[in-house]
Amino acid sequence: MRKTLRRTSRRRCSYARVFAALGDETRLTLVAKLAKGQPSSISQLTEGSQLTRQAITKHLRVLEDARIVRSVRAGRESRFAFDPEPIAEVKDYLDFVSEQWDETLARLKSFVES
Amino acid sequence: MRKTLRRTSRRRCSYARVFAALGDETRLTLVAKLAKGQPSSISQLTEGSQLTRQAITKHLRVLEDARIVRSVRAGRESRFAFDPEPIAEVKDYLDFVSEQWDETLARLKSFVES
DNA sequence: ATATTATGCAACCTCCTGGTTACATAATAT
DNA sequence: ATATTATGTAACCAGGAGGTTGCATAATAT
């Protein structure tokens, strides 16, 4: 029930945005870092990357537009934190697609058997 | 166990490719059609879309590169079918990320409480 | 044999993406 | 006060994405 509510609350356009945000290795790495650890500043998130701080910032904005992360200004640094909701939503959507496929398979199977 | 196997079988690069393929409304629509219905030809998949057949073909190639669909030539038409595996894999990956986040939350909570 | 249908392939165009460098400003540390 | 650190903003660039048109070819229908 919760699942259905969550699924229908978003449109395909919005799912596409979230998927697109996840469709980049650098951003997947950022998401992994943030899901695994504390909220972090841009400088912290840039450490260990080959990219410039500005590049990382742009990636973070993409993730923020998709609501996958939130940013809060804290003094001179802006801390980014993971938000699990959009990912939960696209997971539900993928479940929905998989279910549709299972039903399709069942239909094809019963068609063959008849 | 199966989940873990599946998850570790793919790298972040590969997940990114699948997410990127899903990160477009037109392609999400194609995936929905194919998961919901029979394998279909390019012409069939173009029907109802505003785009040209060639544009749809390009989108199908992107989905095919991500292994989300397979194509089989049948006479003069090439039929595309849904393949559930890559989507199952990225779903597992998202589960993994969510779990990491849950653990992080638990850690933060116990830190606050201590 | 010929017309029709389904597809493949290539060239081209525009806009977006992912990256850079350079400079400005805000907050903190000394 | 001054230096340092963290970030914001802007201009710029190369390449890729998403779309088109045009033409060639393979398979089927008449």
pLDDT digits (tens, 9 = 90+) for A49-82: 999 999 999 999 999 999 999 999 999 999 999 9
Q: Measured between CA atoms, how close is B79 to chain A, in angstroms?
A: 16
Spatial CA neighbour of A93 closest among B96, B17, B94, B10: B94
A43 Cβ nearer than 7 Å to chain D strand: yes
Q: Measured between CA atoms, how close is A76 to chain B, in angstroms?
A: 23
Taking the Cβ of residue B85 and every Cβ of chain A, the question of whether any pair is shorter than 8 Å is answered with no
Residue A98's CATH number: 1.10.10.10
* Residue in A20, A22, A37 nearest the CB of B104: A37
What pLDDT is stored for residue B1 in this prediction?
52
Taking the Cβ of residue B28 and every Cβ of chain A, the question of whether any pair is shorter than 8 Å is answered with yes
Spatial CA neighbour of B42 closest among B108, B23, A24, B33: B33
CA distance A10 to A66: 12
What is the domain extent for residue B40? 2-113
What pLDDT is stored for residue B109 in this prediction?
79
State mean pLDDT over A91-111.
92
Residue segments in chain B with a per-residue pLDDT below the cut of 70: 1-9, 111, 113-114
CA distance B63 to B85: 13
What pLDDT is stored for residue B70 in this prediction?
98
Q: Measured between CA atoms, how close is A39 to chain B, in angstroms?
A: 10
DSSP state string for A40-105:
EEHHHHHTT-SS-HHHHHHHHHHHHHTTSEEEEEETTEEEEEE--HHHHHHHHHHHHHHHHHHHHH
Chain B residues close to A88, C-beta within 8 Å: 98
Q: Considering its fold, how many domains does chain B have in total?
A: 1
Read off the pLDDT band of A2 (50, 70, 90).
low
Chain B's closest residue to A24, CA to CA, is B16
What pLDDT is stored for residue A5 in this prediction?
59
B16 Cβ nearer than 7 Å to chain D strand: no
CA distance B48 to B53: 11
Read off the pLDDT band of A3 (50, 70, 90).
low
Taking the Cβ of residue A12 and every Cβ of chain B, the question of whether any pair is shorter than 8 Å is answered with yes
* Residue in B12, B37, B87 nearest the CB of A94: B87
CA dihedral A5, A31, B34, A1 (to 10 degrees): -20
CA distance B65 to B44: 20
Chain B residues close to A13, C-beta within 8 Å: 25
CA distance B17 to A96: 21
